[in-house]
Chains A and B, each alone.
Chain A
Amino acid sequence: MNVSSTERDGGPQRLRLTYARDESLRFISHQDEFRMWERTIRRTQMPLAYKQGFNPQPHMQFAAPLGVGFSGSRELMDFRLERPLPEAEVTARLTRALVPGVRIVHLQTVELQATPLQATLLGADYTLRIQTAGLPDGPGRVREFLERTEIWRTRQRKGREYRYNLRPVVHELSYAGPTADGLHVALQLRVQMLEGATGRPDEVLDELGLTDFPYLLHRDRLYFASQAEDAAVFAPYTLARQSDIAWPEAVPPKRKARPRRRQHAQGQGNRSDSPQDFGSKAADEFR
């Protein structure tokens, strides 16, 4: 039994799953994926641990959510079982219950109190696959991107726009040429992924002017500061912080917290005082 010796016998077991999610699943969101994994584990009837509360959530943590438009080769997720099981058995039971398009790469037990994966995330490698027979100016576009020190882009967050500099969070970009099937060309990308300073491959692709073609964003692997080999790969790079890449005037001056206004007795008391739309009415039905 490959249970970590630091665990009490019979106590909860934390497992780290490395898996691949292929392009047939690239249009599902992270919430969809979360629910998909919860159900996969439920199908195995292994004792998945749940948190407390009236609407308990399963003990599942993703290193770096993939999101819509992506596939991945080495994605990581931690989950917890209430009672330990041999790793070979967990792998076998999971494999039988997987949805089409998902494959298990590796499974191992980790310490119950191990640092969350997200906390030590450094960056990732991506393959950007563009559907086109040839891209003669591919190398040129890449060279031109890399030569610039400032690439200002605009994104939305919480309904507000913000500007940031994309260049410092891109550490490697290369044109890999046509793929074996002759229908695509590929680019290789390495970006950092830190709080407030993450390089997004779709932003890179858009900046390169290539989003008119059908494309696939494939994450080849993630890098974690807690792994020595990963840290070594990222050691030569100068990692940018949020303040390094933010547009100077974008940060609003700090406001003093306003006192909360009390609800008037005769004012608009009803929060959902409205005709109800069909979608929420249907969802509400029988709830």
Chain B
Amino acid sequence: MLDTPRQITQILNKVLPRVSVPARYTGGELNSIAKDWSDGRMRSRVALAFPDIYELGGSNLGLMVLYDLINQRSDLLAERVYCPWSDFEAVMRQEGIPLFSLETRHPLGDFDILAFSLPYEQLYTNVLTMLDLAGLPLRAADREGDCPLILAGGSGCYNPEPMSAFFDAMVIGEGEEVVFEVIEAHAAWRAECKSDAHRSRSDLWRKLARIPGVYVPALYDVTYRDDGCIDRIAPTVAEAPATVMKRIVKVLPPPVTKFIVPYVDTVHNRAAIEIMRGCTRGCRFCQAGMIYRPVRERPLEEVLQAVDDMIVQCGFEEVSFLSLSSSDYTYVEELVRRIVEKHGHAKLSIGLPSLRIESFSVGLMELLEKGRRRSGFTFAPEAATDRLRDVINKPIASQDLLQTAAEVYSRGWTTIKMYFMIGHPTQTDTDVQAIAQLTRQVLQVGRAKIGRKAKVRVGVSTLVPKPHTPFQWVPLERTAQIDRHVAILREGLRDRSIAFTWNEPRETIMEAFLTRGDRRIGDVVERAWELGAKLDAWGEHFQFAAWQQAFDELGLDMDWYLYRERARDEVLPWDHISAGLHKEFLHEEYRNTFRGGVVDDCREHCFSCGILGNFKEERRETADDAWCCPPLGRNKERQPVDITPVPLYFNEDMAPDLQGQFPTRVPQRRAGTVIREVAAAP
């Protein structure tokens, strides 16, 4: 294997002309930071790894945040590495090129810390590809002292078990503060190793386990019962806590503005500014809405300043304001108005993904009309009947959707995209047919406004029950049922103005056994990878057969992981990891699912999900309006609080005998805490 940046550069000049999109591997982008490795001040060198190709990793905000934070320190450096596409991987293996960082082309093995982002499960095999190309042992247990610390972070770590064998440590929750604690611990251990030859890697693990929010899999034992379920997951040393609580930041740190400006056309080729973290709606299927609590909004002035800085430092023609529910951001209308006023003439395009139908006001629409537009908007009703929307706790009225659609079409936009899900618990054929009917109604509304130009795009995915959500006990929908429902939709959505896309069931299956898997699935991942599984998110590479074979060889039953309804008292593989929510809260919500009980937005009514209990200190240290959770202390103005989620109402078909707070259907957030202006400065 080649091992210096110079050798790697020389060979790249020879081989890059032969691969597709060579710019994926060359670096040198504006705002990328290549520090001097021979600088004596450098205490730690971190490689930030995103296990997919450049086009997907290059726009990942989480990685950019850590890159920016670490590089701000004069004694630390951070560089990036992405997964190579299959053609370049083949060239690398053939020519003995180790996986290298983009900035200085150092082989990954030269770094002190390798930090992988795990945003979704389809990337798991790419982690193994990258470790293998770097010449590093795949399993943490096989790594010697001088091997870099291999770390994981991201939402995939909320069920860390499937990938637990491959990481020395896994960070749960928000990384902006804890990443430095991990770097310090590692640096301290290395210093100790210099003076004491008996220091081993397990000493490093114990140091890391003491850091709140860091899960060290090797320090936990898992035992199983005869029926295959987990008996216990328990720490084996005193330093490792029985439950690893996620880390949060009390307020959002200042946003990144000096983004790396890619040459390659990445999937989200624009600036991204986080305006709000967390979500108060409480949709039952949604993992992000559960794990990113509490809701913290970014002050408006900070967002506006960030846009100004971004323009001078990057020059992106589009800026996207990220959150889980952008129209729920308190100052969203004023934000858009002031951006358009200041930058509209320079054709700055505004992206507002994750719009919520109920809070997407006409005022907001009119503001977005100005400036550079896109062809349409995206909404995610997820279910098309009132009953099923009550079940998933996303109760929008079809009438509101149609009215919003009418407003959108009449303002010059031509396309509306909608996301739906099939495979919800209690879903019937009627609910599926309703998706087609609702889509046609939207199209009709569009045609009434703009005739044949109106278009609707429908994306239907299959529900994958996720850990730390009320649906974590729900079995996956059977493939035959999925196929039947897709067939119903294909028939019902036949129209030249409707574009219908759906998920391949086998890809859904793969996500499903990975996301709720236990440690034994780690063996499946490794075996499937050995059999050739890689780049599973990309259709041309996805090989279901490799996964099937891996399960068979290891004597594990894929169906058992997919189709089993979990019991209330079952030890789930992620029970020792906490998102700050009480399991009882999630289970009460699970029961409300089958009663059709709709629970309010927690800005209106707090249900003691567990966040305030687990983060009391942090809440006390923040201003009253810094979180959407109620403030602590006496004489504070706050929303009503209950210790259990009390539904606004129960669906009359599913629970005719039960009564919630109201006898009839009422919308969430009826107190209208939606959009406000920033109060004029006193």
Contact = CB atoms under 8 A, between A and B. Distances in A.
A99 B312 contact: no
A215 B312 CA distance: 36
A89 to B, nearest CB: 16
Contact of B378 (A54, A269, A277, A287): A287
B539 interface: yes
A106 interface: no
B16 A27 contact: yes
B296 to A, nearest CB: 21
B237 interface: no
B270 to A, nearest CB: 10
Interface stretch (B221-229, B241-249, B487-495, B668-676): B487-495
Contacts of A275: 501-504, 539
A270 B540 CA distance: 22
B24 to A, nearest CB: 9
Nearest to A68: B22
Contacts of B268: 283, 286
Contacts of B457: 272
A43 B259 CA distance: 13
Given A32-B264, A269-B495, A276 B373 contact: no
Given A214-B13, A278-B537, A42 B496 contact: no
A5 interface: no
B428 to A, nearest CB: 24
A175 B504 CA distance: 57
B503 A276 contact: yes
Contacts of A28: 23, 263-264
Contacts of A56: 347, 372
B304 interface: no
Nearest to A131: B13
B536 to A, nearest CB: 9
B493 A286 contact: no
A273 interface: yes
A226 B504 CA distance: 57
A57 B175 CA distance: 38
A285 interface: yes
Interface in A146-174: none
Nearest to A277: B539
A99 B495 CA distance: 47
Interface string B3-31: 00000001001101100001100101110
B267 A279 contact: yes
B361 interface: no
A269 B494 CA distance: 6
A209 B314 CA distance: 42
A45 B502 CA distance: 42
Given A24-B28, A131-B13, A31 B501 contact: no
Contacts of A32: 23, 263-265
A286 B353 contact: yes
B496 A271 contact: yes
B239 interface: no
Interface stretch (A33-41, A188-196, A247-255): A33-41
A100 interface: yes
Given A39-B315, A97-B315, A277-B538, A284 B417 contact: yes
B578 to A, nearest CB: 29
B504 A271 contact: no
Given A32-B265, A271-B496, A283-B267, A278 B417 contact: no
B420 interface: no
B372 A282 contact: no
Nearest to A82: B345
A271 B496 CA distance: 7
Contacts of B614: none
Nearest to A32: B263
Interface in A233-278: 263, 266, 269-278
Interface in B27-52: 28-30
B504 A27 contact: no
Contact of B23 (A27, A42, A54, A274): A27
Contacts of B494: 266, 269-270
A260 to B, nearest CB: 14
Contacts of A274: 501
Given A282-B56, A286-B320, A270 B499 contact: yes
A50 interface: yes
A69 B16 CA distance: 9
B502 A276 contact: yes
Nearest to A39: B315
B539 A214 contact: no
A100 B499 contact: no
Nearest to B308: A45
A285 B13 CA distance: 35
A38 B317 contact: yes
Contact of A286 (B28, B375, B378): B378
B17, B314, B495 pick with most chain A CB within 10 angstroms: B17
Interface in A7-29: 24-25, 27-29
B211 interface: no
A116 interface: no
A29 B17 CA distance: 12
B615 interface: no
Contacts of A279: 55-56, 267, 538
Given A43-B313, A55-B373, A99 B261 contact: yes
Interface string A199-237: 000000000000001111000000000000000000000
B433 interface: no
A283 B457 CA distance: 14
Contacts of A284: 417, 459
Contacts of A100: 28, 30
A271 to B, nearest CB: 6
B346 A45 contact: yes
Interface string B374-417: 11001000000000000000000000000000000000100001
A182 interface: no
Interface string B51-69: 0000110000000000000
B28 A101 contact: yes
B264, B314, B496 pick with most chain A CB within 10 angstroms: B496
B160 interface: no
A285 B459 CA distance: 10
Contacts of B501: 272, 274-276, 281
Contacts of B417: 284, 287
A25 B502 CA distance: 39
A39 B354 contact: no
B2 to A, nearest CB: 15
B374 A287 contact: yes
Interface string B235-278: 00000000000000000000000000101110111000000000
A20 to B, nearest CB: 15
Contacts of A263: 496
A54 B317 CA distance: 14
Given A32-B23, A100-B30, A43 B311 contact: yes
B22 A27 contact: yes
Interface in B267-314: 267-269, 311-314
Nearest to B266: A283
B19 to A, nearest CB: 10
A286 B500 CA distance: 16
18 contacts: A24-B28, A38-B317, A54-B372, A56-B372, A97-B315, A99-B29, A100-B28, A214-B10, A263-B496, A270-B496, A270-B499, A271-B499, A272-B500, A272-B501, A274-B501, A275-B539, A277-B540, A286-B351
4 interchain residue pairs of minimum CB distance? A286-B353, A39-B315, A42-B315, A43-B315
Interface of B: 10, 13-14, 16-17, 22-23, 26, 28-30, 55-56, 122, 261, 263-265, 267-269, 311-317, 320, 346-347, 351, 353-354, 372-375, 378, 412, 417, 457, 459, 490, 493-496, 498-504, 537-540
Interface of A: 24-25, 27-29, 31-32, 35-36, 38-43, 45, 47-48, 50, 54-56, 68-69, 97, 99-101, 131, 213-216, 263, 266, 269-279, 281-287
